[in-house]
Amino acid sequence: MADDPQTRFEQDRAIDPTGEDPRPAGTAVGGPTPRDSASLIDPRLDSPAREGLTGTARAGVYEPTREPEDVTIAPDHRPMDEQPRWRQDFAIDWPEDHFVARRDFAKFLVLTSGAFVAGQAWIAAKSLLRDRRPPPGRKRIASLAAVPPGSATMFAYPGEHDPCLLIRLRDGKLLAYSQKCTHLSCAVVPKIDQGILHCPCHEGVFELATGRNIAGPPPRPLPVIELEVAGDDVYAIGVLERTT
Amino acid sequence: MTAKPQRQSTRAQRTTVVYGVVCFVLILVVAQLWLLTATMNAWLGDDDAVVWPALGASAACLGLNLGLLRYLLRK
């Protein structure tokens, strides 16, 4: 068998199966003989040292292979020799760059997650402080004579920077709401004839009779100012904030 | 008893893991964003009942995110 790997190996190593030295007489003087070097290898076919040499597997199969993605590839997929000089000098490992960029993005997301928890903690702390705050007191805001039916007037309650609207409907009923739109705190405008409170900033609309948000971006109804009428005077006695 | 050799993932496998973790973290962060806006809306409407449970849920999301990030940094 001319192409037998075992035969080829033995010929390359000058191993005579009969045990005879195949070289001419006298050539063995000085230096190791091929038989000496061949004797370092176990002649059995199944010996571990002969893996890759006997034709059962090519020698390169045991070399570590490189992942295709481990090879740096330029964005235009041309070989590095054809790339401009600046890219050859400052070659970027794009697959590694993608891996690191996404890992850094994950870090940024976790940082954002921490910021949201800080925001929740801030709301909780403000909630504790609000619970300890005393309720707003009773305050005279207008006289009935100053608010004829079908009109509205402004007042500040509970603080001087909390603008509110006192509205008297045509049937004489009194209503009061905070004037700050629940969207972005623009001042709402009462339109008594249309039965609405209109926010001109982003076209938010509240129902006049209840203060509920009925159109536009406002997420909550207007806070209701609780009223008390004593004689000819109108008093504000509390603020009722609502979610629905 | 010999120790089992630790398997080294290829970079392609690690990048896939990063994608999965980033998607999961992103979902949790969006959930936290929704939680924060809903809590703020409720609190401004004088509804304090949801404040502390929302804080706990958001903190749990952060803990999960930190765990995922720790796993990612060890890859």
| Residue A39 banded pLDDT, cuts 50, 70, 90 | low
A12 vs A160, more confident? A160
- Residue-wise pLDDT tens digits, A188-205: 999 999 999 999 999 999
Q: What is the pLDDT of residue A204?
A: 96
Report the Cα–Cα distance between both ends of chain A, in Å, rounded: 94
How large is the average pLDDT for residues A75-85? 82
Question: Running DSSP on this structure, what letter comes out for residue A39?
Answer: T
- Please report the ipTM that was assigned to this predicted complex: 0.88
Q: How far apart are CA A153 and CA A190, in angstroms?
A: 10
Report domain extents, chain A.
Answer: 1-65, 73-133, 139-240
Q: What is the pLDDT of residue B13?
A: 78
Which architecture, in CATH terms, is A139-240? 3-layer Sandwich (2.102)
Mean pLDDT, rounded, of chain A: 80
Inter-chain CB proximity B15 and A114 less than 8 Å: no
Residues on A contacting B at a C-beta cutoff of 8 Å: 67, 69-70, 95-96, 98-99, 102-103, 105-107, 109-110, 112-114, 116-117, 119-121, 123-124, 126-127, 130-131, 182, 219-220, 240-244
Question: Chain B residue with minimal CA distance to A222?
Answer: B45
Burial (Cβ within 10 Å: 0-12, 13-18, ≥19) of residue A219: middle
| Residue A211 banded pLDDT, cuts 50, 70, 90 | very high
Q: What is the pLDDT of residue A68?
A: 55
Does the pLDDT of residue A71 top 60, yes or no? no
- Residue-wise pLDDT tens digits, B18-46: 899 999 999 999 999 999 999 999 999 98
**Token pair for residue A85?**
């000089």
Strands A224-230 and A213-215: unpaired
Q: What is the pLDDT of residue A76?
A: 80
Does the pLDDT of residue A30 top 50, yes or no? no
Does the pLDDT of residue A10 top 60, yes or no? yes
Does the pLDDT of residue A26 top 70, yes or no? no
Q: How far apart are CA A52 and CA A105, in angstroms?
A: 46
Question: Running DSSP on this structure, what letter comes out for residue A128?
Answer: H
| Closest alpha carbon to A124 in B32, B43, B34 | B43
Does the pLDDT of residue A160 top 60, yes or no? yes
Among B residues 35-54, those touching chain A with beta carbons less than 8 Å apart: 35-36, 39-48, 51-52, 54
Q: What are the residues whose beta carbons fall under 8 Å from the beta carbon of A218, sequence distance 6 or more?
A: A181, A182, A183, A199, A204, A206
Q: What is the pLDDT of residue A86?
A: 86
* % of residues, chain A, pLDDT over 70: 73
Q: What is the pLDDT of residue A27?
A: 45
How large is the average pLDDT for residues B47-55? 94
Q: How far is CA B31 from CA A116, B24, B28, B57, B60, in A?
A: 10, 11, 5, 10, 12
Q: What is the pLDDT of residue A87?
A: 80
